[in-house]
Structure formats: structure tokens, C-alpha cells
Amino acid sequence: MLTQTTSRVLEPSDLDAALAVLDREPVANAFVTSRVQVAGLDPWRLGGEMWGWYEDGMLTSLCYAGANLVPICATPRAVRAFADRARRAGRRCSSIVGPAEPTTQLWRLLEPHWGPAREVRAQQPLMVTDRMPTDIAPDPYVRRVRKDEMDTIMPACVAMFTEEVGVSPMAGDGGLLYQARVAELVGSGRSFARLDDRGRVAFKAEIGAATSHACQIQGVWVAPEYRGQGLAAPGMAAVLRYALADVAPVVSLYVNDFNTTARRTYRRVGFQEVGAFMSVLF
């Protein structure tokens, strides 16, 4: 057992202790928890390292260091240690994302070495619900995307990602990793869409991270020609119904603070703001 205040890369034998930290904030930590529950702490399977911060021999804070750098239950002292480790390792991630307060502190320490960022989204409301809305009927045409519909859903996913993040997911490796992730969601029954009479996607969303405690809706998108026609709220209600019935008792999402239309839609469906995330995009 460690008896001093320190940080280190966690090993597979640290899994139970890491899960105990993640379980302290099951909604905010759903993304990382879902990965750890599937892959454990082996860096190759996890897709990155898990750093741990110890206070008097007890694991108290984590930081996932993979494609994203994610502080988890991170105290100010832990953030400083994680920032020092990240600075020495060099930037390998495409974004820093996590609860706004520790992520702000982490970026403040890393910006002199890693900056400038392509974009900083300092306040992204975290929204949560555990029930269906009483005044929004789920869209009956929103359904699970079938495995043989990858060619149908993929262009919509690429359009959503490019619009949301500002770069195409097809860059770099030609989109192989992104296509694999979309296929994983489709294959697990967590990709949903409404198709129009021409077989094109009018509305889509996915249930991304999922644990037994909480899941996270992501990738919400309405095709440009259908915006303003009232598809978003019933579509979200339909995905929410699937999520609550089949995945987890609590459903969350986070949204850009400047996206007032989306925030209004999510509130109509019953989501309430309970905190904020921050994203630093490179």
C-alpha cells in the first residue's frame, strides 16, 4: 500500500479501487465507467492509461489518459499531479473533457505547454432525467438502426460529428475508428433513427456510455431539411423510452451552452441541468 501522497499508473489489480472512485459520481463518470467495466485497466484493452492519485495510501482521484484526457473526482492536488504527468508525457489526446471545475484547472496548467486549443467550450450543461415526459409523445417512427443499415446511418453520423466538433471524423485514418464505433453502437442496439420516405435519416441519436446506474445520450441530430418541424422532442422522447426501459434508470447528456434550441428541447423532454462539463478541443 502507498503511504504517501502520490500518483501512478493503475494496474489491472487496482480495478476494484478504481471502480469505487468511479461509483462516487455515476452520472458524470458514466463514459469512463462504461469503458472500465468492459476493458478493465489494461491499457491496451482500455485504449489508454488510468492514472490514480493517492492520499495517505487511499485512491481518491483518477484521470483517464486515452483519446480523451478525463479528470475523475479530481481534487485540486490531484489535478496538479495529473497535469504534471500529462505535460511530461506530451499531448496524445484529441480533447480534454470532464466536469467543468477540475477540467478548467487542468487546462490552465497545461495550456502553456499544449496550447493553443482549437476550441474551448467552457460550460456545457450536464442534464439528467429518470422518467418519461408526460406531455411529449415518443415518435413512433424512431427505431433501432439495423446492422444492415450502416450505409444509411453512417453519412448522418459523419455530418453530425463534423457539425458538432468542427472537423471530419474521416480524417487521419480514413474514418476506420469512427466507423467501428458507429458499428459497435448499431450492433449493440443503441443507435436510433427516424428515416424519411426516401430512406434517408431525418433524426438520429445514440445511447453511448452505459452502465447499470446511468447512460448517456449522444449524437443527437436532425437533418437540415427537417429542422424546425418538431422532430427533435418526440425523437428524444422515443430514445429516452428505450434508454429507461432497456439500459439504465438514469439518462444523461451534455450540451453546448450556446445551443439554446437543443437545451430548450431537452428541457421539454424532462431533462434538468445538474452540473456542467468542459471540453478543450485540439
Cell reading at 141: 417512427
Question: Do 104 and 121 form a contact (C-beta atoms < 8 A)?
Answer: no
Instruction: State the fold for domain 142-275.
Output: Aminopeptidase (3.40.630)
178, pLDDT greater than 90: yes
The tens digit of pLDDT for each residue in 214-234 reads 999 999 999 999 999 999 999
CATH second-level architecture of 5-116? Answer: 3-Layer(aba) Sandwich (3.40)
Amino acid occupying residue 106: L
Amino acid occupying residue 193: A
pLDDT at 175: 86
Tally of CB atoms within 10 A around 187? 12
What does the CA dihedral 161, 164, 167, 172 come to, rounded to 10 degrees?
-30
pLDDT at 174: 86
The tens digit of pLDDT for each residue in 80-121 reads 999 999 999 999 999 999 999 999 999 999 999 998 999 999
266, pLDDT greater than 90: yes
The reply to whether 5-116 and 142-275 are identical in fold is yes
Question: Do 153 and 186 form a contact (C-beta atoms < 8 A)?
Answer: yes
Share of the chain above pLDDT 90, in %: 94
Tally of CB atoms within 10 A around 255? 20
Share of the chain above pLDDT 70, in %: 99
1, pLDDT greater than 70: no
| Entry pTM | 0.92
4, pLDDT greater than 80: no
Q: Which of 273, 28, 275, 271 is nearest to 129 (CA)?
A: 271
Please give the C-alpha separations between residue 84 and each of 6, 81, 156, 281, in angstroms, as whole numbers. 12, 5, 39, 19
The residues spanned by each domain of the chain are 5-116, 142-275
271, pLDDT greater than 70: yes
Question: Do 254 and 217 form a contact (C-beta atoms < 8 A)?
Answer: no
The tens digit of pLDDT for each residue in 116-174 reads 999 999 999 999 999 999 999 999 999 999 999 999 999 999 999 999 988 999 987 88
- Residue 84 is classified by DSSP as H
CA distance 280 to 282: 7
| Dihedral sign for Cα atoms in the order 34, 40, 43, 49 | positive
Average pLDDT over residues 268-276: 97
181, pLDDT greater than 60: yes
- Confidence band for 258, pLDDT divided at 50, 70 and 90: very high
CA distance 50 to 11: 8
Tally of CB atoms within 10 A around 207? 25
